[in-house]
Each structure stands twice: as C-alpha cells, then as structure tokens.
C-alpha cells in the first residue's frame, strides 16, 4: 500500500490569486484516503500597485495599492482511496489605498470538486500518478461582478476539467504538471448596456473561458513531514476584450497571467492531526489584471471520520 | 454508444451549469420595419427649427410618372433588387423604414467609444484632446455628457428639419413609391403608401453622416461607409429610385450645413477653459459664497470639465439665468449636515435595490451617458407607438434640445456655485460610483433626466408617469451612489423640469398636433 503519502492533508498551492476568483483549483498531486477528512483554513493577502491595461503595465493614482484579503475555509474528504471531494467557500475583502472608491467584502464563490486518481503506478524507487478533476463553482452571495477591480469575483458559474500528472521519487523529489479548461458562464451586471468593442444592449456579460496550467517541482523532507515546492502557474482566457485606456476592467476582459510561487507545508506528526502551510506567489506577466503578489498562511487538521 | 451518450450528457450538464449558451447577446435595439401608425402627411407644414422655410433646401422637380426617365430608373431598381447580395439584403433589414433610430444608435455607440477621460501623463500633467488634431493622443473628442448632449441635439434637429422638408416635397410632388408604380417591385417593409420623392431615408443618412462626422472626426470614413450602405438599401428595399435618393442627399447636405454652422459658433469651443480662467471662476464663487469645489483625483486635474459650457447657446431658453438653481445650503449648516449624514447612512447600509438603482443609472465613463440613456428610452417608445420617421424625429429633436439646454443650465449652476462634492466635504468618504471632474450642484443626471422625461411625458402622455418616475429614480441614484447630496438631485430635477417646459411650450405651437 502506498498509504505513506496519503495521510497528508491536501492543499492547493495556487488558491486565491487565480484571477480575483476561482480560489479553489485542486491542482495538487495528493489524495486523502477513504474515511479521512481534512479541515483547513487559509488566510491570504495579495496586493498590486501596477496593473495590466491590455498588456501595458501601469499605475493608477486613484487606486494606489490595491489589496485583496481572503479567508478560505475548506473541507476535503476521502470517499474512497482514489476519489476525493473538496468544498470551499472563501470570504474576500478588497480595498485600495488611493482614490475614493469603496472596497467591499463578502462571500465569494462556493466551490465543489471531485478528484479521482486513475493511474497509480509503483516503479522501482519511484511512483507515477495521474488524476482527473471536475470542479464547479458558483457565486455564494449577490456580489456585483461588474465592479472591477473591487468586485469579489467574476460572478459566473465555472466548470473546470483538469488533468494532473505527478512523478515522484521515493527519496522525496517530485515533478507535477496540470492543465485545466475552465468553462465560465455569464454574469449579470446592474446596468443594461455595456461596451465590449461595440454595444451590448443587455445586462448579461459573457465571462471568457480559460486555460489554466501549472508546473511544479518539489520535494519531501523530514520523513515526509515537510513539503517544499516551487511552481509556475499560467492562465489564458480564450476570448474577451482589453481594458480601455484609463478605464475600469469588466468581467468580459481577456485575462491572462503568469505567476511564480513557492509553497511549504509541514505536519507535526504522521497519520493526521495538525499541519501548517505557507505560500508566496508573484505574477510576472499578464493582461487585464492587477500584478498581484501575495502570501498565504494556512492551518490544516486531519482526522479519521469513518 | 453508451460512452458517447455519457459524453453528451456531460456536455449538456456543463452548458446547464455554466449557462454557456450565450452566442446571441443583443448588440442593437430589436425592431424591424413597421407600418406607421400615421403617415403625418401634413408634416411639411410643421415648424422648422433651423431652416427658415420648407423650400430653403432646393431640389429639382421630379420626372413624371410614366416618363422614360422614371421608367428607366424603375428598370435599374429592379435589376438592383434582383442582383442584391446577401449583405445588401441584410442591410435592408438592418436599416428599416425608420432608420433614424439606427443612426441614433450609432451616435450612442460612438459616444461610448469616445467617452474615456484622458489619463495623466507620466509627469503628472494632463493632455486634453485637440479638435485641430483629433488623432493625437488623447483622441478628440472626449465624449462627456455635455459633449454628447450637444452632439445629439444637432443630430436630431438636422434630421428633423430635413424630414419636415422631405415631407413637404413628398406632398407637393406626390410621386408614388416604386412598389406602387411597378407591380414587379415589392416593398421590403409595410406598404404604407408614403410618397417617395425625395427619399426621407436619404435625408436621414446624409444629415446623420454629416453631423456625426463633424462631431467624431476620426469616424468620417466609417460613417461614410455606413451612409453608402444605407443609401443603397433604399433602392434594394423597393421604396426609392435613384432620383428619390439624390434629392434626399441634396436636402440632407443643405440642412447639415445649417446645423454645423450653428454648432461652429455656439460657444462650445470656449467651454473647456485654460487654468487661469478656471481659477478665476473658482475664486469668484469663493468670494461670493465662501466655498469651492476641488478636484480630488491623483494627480489633481488642474481644470474641471467644461467650466464655460453654461455659456453655450441654448435652443429654447432665452437666458440661462432664468433657470439658474437657488443658492444651495452652505457646508456646515444643519440642512447640509442632514444631507451629509444621509449619504453616510447609505454608504454604510445600501440595500440591494438601492445599489441596483445606483448602477443602473450610473451612465458614467465608457457609457452613452445620461443623455444617451434617454435617447434609448425615446427609441424604444417611438417603436412602441410605431411613429412615422418625421414624428420620431420630432420627439428626438425636442427632447435633445431640452436635454442639452438642461446641461447648459446645470453647468451654469455648477460653475456659478462651484459647490464641493461629498468626497471633498465628508472626511474619509468612499463611494460606489466614481465622482466626476466638475462641481456638485446641481446634479447633471437629475437635470438631464427631468428635461428628457418632461418632453417624453408631453409626447407620450400615457407613459408620462413612468418617465417622471424614471427621472426621479435617476436623481436618487446619485445619492445612493454617494456622488451627490439630496439637494443637488432635487434642485436638478426642478431645474430640468423648468428647462424641459420651454421645449414643451415650443412643441405645443409647432402645428404637429
């Protein structure tokens, strides 16, 4: 049995910062065994003082430094050893140091996701795994998406289909890659006209679908109590318009970013109980979004439920 | 087979959960050509706005029914109809037999396109658009609410005078439409029996093209292309022959010249003042009242938006001071404090409905602005009552004259009183709407909306209550949004109503009813 790595409470390295929303992208290469439940709370604080207007990186004195804080409770449960269910509900608060536009706070999107391992191949001194992940998220409050950049999220349902592959040496190092297609629905504005390279006489806005990819290189240490990882995350909308000159973003924008991140996860003891998580992410290129840098801190608790 | 089914249901589930079927979001007003409720055959005698008489624009006498020249034109029209490409047939459906509505929609889209406020330069200065060099950065124009209101008034007045002229000649010459003259020609729209010489559609195409090209100089080519497509569609639709169109072009050209001559000398070119002038206006207000509005942006904008728009020539109000708002309560007085407290309460406890109202009427940057919003209502209502083109033009002309006059009156009060905005007087106050770059008192949206609603209420009495309610909601939206005190909104409504009544009084005497 490969239970050794399975007791580890899984958490999601790229949570939160993914496009002002979709805080829940179960990209990890870990699984909870049957009957185990992990409860986690992550606090994240991310900021930007530059943003991409189209692909032009600029500042705005009437925003100054933009800040986005998030508190995300999450539960992961092992239905079987190879099928996990993950739910999360982040609370988000936005504000800006400059200008006079009011920040807001509230529950963002409720997300539920099913993750299944369909390849688990034990080799000499190594292991190869592949996972599929189907996720769904939906706005959990009546927040206004058409209030960018302050809005809590993009205000649309999202269905994600993700494939994850992980190659892990018994000594600890691992390499992981994932790719996801995110199907996003529409969001409702409170105005019934908007401009997206032309007139739209409706309050319905089409939120572009997106590709999301990640590559991670990490390793286990201290008898698999500590995990350290560096990762590279990309998101590319498949359509959408650019932010107009010196104007606000809107949910129809073509959002892209490339982000580097580092993650450390530590468990006090094997077999469950308390764990801690810390991460830092920084965007180095993008389009139509703030150049976020931010850190996250999390506490996890894992126990056998049935 | 089973696996395939599973995939299909999975895809269906995806669509259902995300609402992914969004291919056809509406990009224009949904209406088609329709049968006019009334042909308004005597509209040729209605009062003109700019032109001195209904034959000021001269057109040649048409060739007679049965003449070789007209028969030749009918033959050519038939060939055009028979050989029409799918694009040409689509154009016929698009333009309809009340194309003024489409041109108004185009005017609104250009308004949105150009309604972007110039941002700061890297050194913190601002560069303003230059009408003498429209393609320089930032492009000319910055289509802000005063600009849009004035643009729409010239567009609508030119269309109206052109259509009155066209209706006069239609009646005078009495030449029937091609679909009446030739049984092989079918009208693409309802057979309303309107005489076709000169073409009313061509009048609308040319007045719209010419006025909009002057207002949006970088769009000249785009507008010329649209006008050509529209002119061509008139023959393809079976409602005009070439000489109808040519005569309409003559009228449109003459009327546009007259409209643009007025525009060139109406005072708009002095509305955006240099800093010295703007400072002297500010100081005058401070001397008079002991308060002044300051721009709160970073970096600070040195001059407010069009301080002398209040001096632009009005259409129907003889003197702007007749409609100047009363003196607002001074900051610090109990009446002021009450309004400021109300704003703080809304900021802390805005209901879902109040938020919706604030956003629905936002009409800020990157929108068609409050004047555009009322033009949208006018379009929808004209279609609802199936107005003829000339009666539609009347609604737009009087409404847009009232709206720009309201803007002028409002701007006169804004810079006469130079009243500070809530973000300036209430420490730490934050808002859900962006505060614009001009003084608070009176509220522009309230004034524009009240003027627009008064005119629409007069033309559409059955809907009067609804229009007035909408204007009141628009006024309150500014209070919910935190950018105006209640007295800005209420005085603005009052001012707009007064300005609107000048237009209504003129309309009552225009011989249309």
Residue B365: which of B425, B305, B299 has the closest Cα?
A: B305
C-beta of residue B370 within 8 angstroms of C-beta of residue B474: yes
List, in sequence order, every residue forming a beta bridge with A93; answer none if it has no partner: A69, A105
> Which of B12, B16, B19, B30 to substitute to test the interface with A, most A CBs within 10 Å?
B19
How many other CB atoms are there within 10 angstroms of residue A273's CB atom?
14
Chain A residues touching B377 at Cβ < 8 A: none
Residue B244 has pLDDT above 60, yes or no: yes
B342 has a pLDDT exceeding 50: yes
Across the range B55-65, mean pLDDT stands at 98
Q: What's the mean per-residue pLDDT of chain B? A: 96
Alpha-carbon span A22 to A207, nearest angstrom: 13
Euclidean distance between CA atoms A280 and A260, whole angstroms: 8
A61, A102, A193 member nearest B430 (Cβ): A102
Query: Which residues are within 8 A (CB) of B320 and not within 5 positions of it... i.e. 6 or more apart?
Result: B310, B311, B314, B408, B409, B412
Measured between alpha carbons, how far is residue B52 from residues A3, A75, B49 in Å? 94, 78, 8
pLDDT value at B36 more than 60: yes
Mutate to test the interface with A, among B6, B7, B10, B17 (most CBs of A within 10 A): B17
Q: What is the mean pLDDT of residues B157-169?
A: 98
| Structure tokens that stand for A23 in this block | 């805080």
Q: Measure A75 CA to nearest chain B CA, in Å.
A: 22
Q: Using an 8 Å Cβ cutoff, are B71 and B345 in contact? A: no
What is the rounded CA–CA span in Å between residue B315 and residue B271? 17
More confident residue, B14 or B162: B162
> What span, in angstroms and rounded, lies between the C-alpha atoms of B312 and B21?
49
User: In b/e form, how buried is each residue of B360-392, taking b as 16+ CB within 10 angstroms?
Assistant: bbbbbbbbbbbbbbbbbbbbebbbebbbbbbbb
Cα–Cα dist A278/A230, whole Å: 12
CB atoms within 10 A of CB A168: 21
Which residues 6+ apart lie within 8 Å of A82 measured at CB? A31, A116, A117, A118, A120
- Which structural domains are found in chain B, ordered by start? 43-56+79-264 (1.10.606.20), 273-508 (1.10.606.20)
Nearest CB to B19; choose among A186, A198, A202? A186
Would an 8 Å CB–CB cutoff place A271 in contact with chain B? no
Does A186 reach chain B within 8 Å, measured CB to CB? Answer: yes
- Quote the CA–CA distance of B404 and B369 in Å, as a whole number: 12
A112 touches chain B (CB under 8 A): no
Q: Does A3 touch chain B (CB under 8 A)?
A: no
- Within 13 Å and on the Cβ side, how many CA atoms surround A156? 31
Using the beta-carbon criterion (under 8 Å), do A61 and B299 form an inter-chain contact? Answer: yes
**Sign of the dihedral through C-alpha A289, A277, A117, A305:** negative
Phi, psi of A179 (to 5 degrees): -140, 140
- Determine contact, residues B9/B1, Cβ cutoff 8 Å: no
Tell if the CB–CB gap between B430 and A200 is shorter than 8 Å.
no
Among B320, B507, B494, CA closest to B397: B507
The pLDDT of B358-384, averaged and rounded, is 98
Residue B459: pLDDT over 80: yes
Break chain A into its structural domains and give their ranges. Answer: 3-304
**How far A105 CA sits from the closest chain B CA (Å)?**
12
- Inter-chain CB pairs, A–B, below 8 Å: 107
pLDDT at B317 over 60: yes
Give the residue from chain A lying closest to B23, CA to CA.
A206
Kindly determine whether residue B27 and residue A200, on different chains, have CB atoms separated by under 8 Å.
yes
| A89-101 residues labelled b (16+ CB within 10 A) or e (exposed) | bbbbebbbebbbb
pLDDT-derived band at B6, boundaries 50, 70, 90: low
pLDDT for res B24 = 87
3-state secondary structure of B73: helix
Structure tokens at B89: 């047939």
Q: ipTM score here?
A: 0.94
| Average pLDDT rounded to a whole number, residues B450-469 | 98
B93: nearest Cα among B222, B193, B237 = B237
Token readout for B399 is: 């409404």
CB–CB of B362 and A246 under 8 A?
Answer: no
Q: Residue-wise pLDDT tens for chain A (306 aa)?
A: 233 333 334 433 333 333 333 333 356 777 888 999 999 999 999 999 999 999 999 999 999 999 999 999 999 999 999 999 999 999 999 999 999 999 999 999 999 999 999 999 999 999 999 999 999 999 999 999 999 999 999 999 999 999 999 999 999 999 999 999 999 999 999 999 999 999 999 999 999 999 999 999 999 999 989 999 999 999 999 999 999 999 999 999 999 999 999 999 999 987 678 999 999 999 999 999 999 999 999 999 999 988
Q: Which whole number is the average pLDDT over B484-489?
A: 98
Quote the tokens at residue B100: 């003024």
Q: Cα–Cα distance between B450 and B414 in angstroms, integer?
A: 17
Nearest CB to B366 within list A142, A183, A244? A244
CATH assignment, A3-304: 2.40.160.40
**Given this model, what pLDDT does residue A24 score?**
31
Query: CB neighbours (10 Å) of residue B321?
Result: 12
Q: Does A152 touch chain B (CB under 8 A)?
A: no
What phi and psi values does residue B228 have, to the nearest 5 degrees? -60, -45
List own/partner pairs for B424-427 with CB under 8 A and 24 or more apart: B424/B293, B424/B294, B424/B296, B425/B331, B425/B336, B425/B340, B426/B340, B426/B343, B426/B344
């Amino acid at each position: 049995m490969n239970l050794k790595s399975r007791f580890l409470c899984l958490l999601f390295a790229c949570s939160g910062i993914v496009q002002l929303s979709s805080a829940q992208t179960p990209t990890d290469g870990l699984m909870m065994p049957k009957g185990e439940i992990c409860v986690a709370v992550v606090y994240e604080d991310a900021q930007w003082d530059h943003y991409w207007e189209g692909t032009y990186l600029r500042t705005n004195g009437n925003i100054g430094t933009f800040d986005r804080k998030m508190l995300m409770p999450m539960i992961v449960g092992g239905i079987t050893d190879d099928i996990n269910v993950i739910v999360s509900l982040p609370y988000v608060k936005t504000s800006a140091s400059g200008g006079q536009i009011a920040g807001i706070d509230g529950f963002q999107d409720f997300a539920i996701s099913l993750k299944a391992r369909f390849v688990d191949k034990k080799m000499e001194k190594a292991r190869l795994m592949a996972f599929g992940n189907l996720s769904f998220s939906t706005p959990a409050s009546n927040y206004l998406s058409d209030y960018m950049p302050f809005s809590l999220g993009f205000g649309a349902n999202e269905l994600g289909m993700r494939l994850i592959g992980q190659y892990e040496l018994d000594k600890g190092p691992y390499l992981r890659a994932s790719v996801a297609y995110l199907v996003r629905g529409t969001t409702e504005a409170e105005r019934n006209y908007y401009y997206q390279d032309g007139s739209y006489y409706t309050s319905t806005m089409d939120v572009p679908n997106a590709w999301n990819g990640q590559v991670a290189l990490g390793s286990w240490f201290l008898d698999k109590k500590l995990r350290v990882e560096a990762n590279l995350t990309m998101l590319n909308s498949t359509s959408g318009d650019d932010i107009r000159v010196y104007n606000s973003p809107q949910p129809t924008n073509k959002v892209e970013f490339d982000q580097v991140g580092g993650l450390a996860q530590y468990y006090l003891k094997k077999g469950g109980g308390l764990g801690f998580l810390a991460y830092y992410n920084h965007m180095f290129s993008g389009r139509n979004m703030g150049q976020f840098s931010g850190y996250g801190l999390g506490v996890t608790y894992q126990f056998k439920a049935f | 087979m089973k696996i395939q089914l599973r995939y299909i249901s999975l895809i269906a589930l995806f669509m259902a959960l995300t609402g992914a079927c969004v291919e056809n979001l509406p990009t224009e007003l949904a209406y088609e050509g329709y049968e006019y409720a009334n042909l308004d055959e005597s509209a040729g005698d209605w009062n003109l706005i700019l032109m001195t008489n209904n034959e000021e624009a001269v057109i040649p006498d048409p060739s007679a029914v049965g003449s070789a020249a007209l028969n030749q034109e009918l033959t050519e029209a038939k060939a055009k109809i028979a050989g029409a490409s799918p694009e040409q047939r689509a154009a016929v459906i698009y333009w309809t037999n009340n194309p003024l509505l489409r041109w108004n929609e185009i005017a609104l889209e250009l308004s949105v396109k150009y309604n972007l406020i110039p941002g700061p330069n890297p050194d913190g200065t601002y560069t303003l658009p230059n009408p003498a060099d429209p393609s320089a950065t930032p492009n000319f124009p910055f289509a802000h609410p005063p600009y849009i209101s004035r643009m729409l008034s010239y567009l609508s007045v030119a269309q109206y005078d052109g259509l009155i002229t066209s209706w006069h000649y239609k009646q005078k010459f009495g030449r029937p439409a091609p679909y009446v003259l030739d049984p092989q020609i079918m009208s693409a729209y309802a057979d309303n029996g309107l005489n076709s010489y000169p073409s009313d559609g061509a009048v609308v195409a040319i007045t719209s093209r010419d006025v909009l090209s002057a207002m949006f100089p970088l769009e000249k080519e785009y507008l010329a292309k649209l006008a050509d497509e529209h002119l061509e569609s008139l023959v393809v639709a079976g409602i005009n022959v070439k000489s109808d169109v040519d005569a309409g072009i003559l009228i449109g050209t003459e009327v546009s010249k007259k409209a643009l001559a007025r525009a060139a000398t109406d005072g708009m070119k002095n509305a955006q003042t240099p800093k010295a002038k703007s400072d002297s206006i500010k100081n005058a207000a401070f001397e008079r009242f002991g308060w002044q509005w300051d721009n709160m942006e970073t970096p600070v904008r040195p001059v407010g938006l069009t301080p002398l728009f209040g001096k632009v020539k009005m259409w129907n109000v003889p003197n702007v001071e007749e409609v100047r708002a009363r003196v607002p309560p001074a900051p610090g007085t109990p009446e002021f404090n009450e309004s400021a407290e109300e704003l703080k309460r809304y900021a802390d406890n805005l209901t879902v409905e109040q938020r919706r109202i604030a956003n629905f009427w936002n009409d800020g940057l990157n929108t068609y602005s409050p004047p555009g919003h009322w033009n949208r209502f006018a379009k929808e209502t004209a279609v609802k009552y199936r107005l003829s083109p000339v009666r539609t033009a009347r609604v737009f002309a009087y409404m847009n004259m009232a709206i720009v006059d309201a803007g002028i009156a409002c701007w006169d009060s804004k810079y006469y009183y130079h009243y500070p905005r809530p973000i300036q007087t209430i420490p730490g106050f934050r808002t859900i709407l962006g505060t614009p770059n001009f003084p608070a008192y009176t509220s522009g949206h309230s004034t524009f909306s009240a003027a627009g609603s008064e005119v629409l209420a007069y033309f559409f009495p059955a809907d009067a209550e609804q229009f007035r309610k909408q204007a009141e909601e628009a006024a309150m939206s500014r209070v919910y949004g935190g950018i105006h005190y209640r007295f800005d909104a209420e005085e603005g409504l009052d001012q707009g109503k007064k300005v609107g009544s000048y237009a209504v009084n003129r309309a009552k005497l225009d011989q249309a009813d």
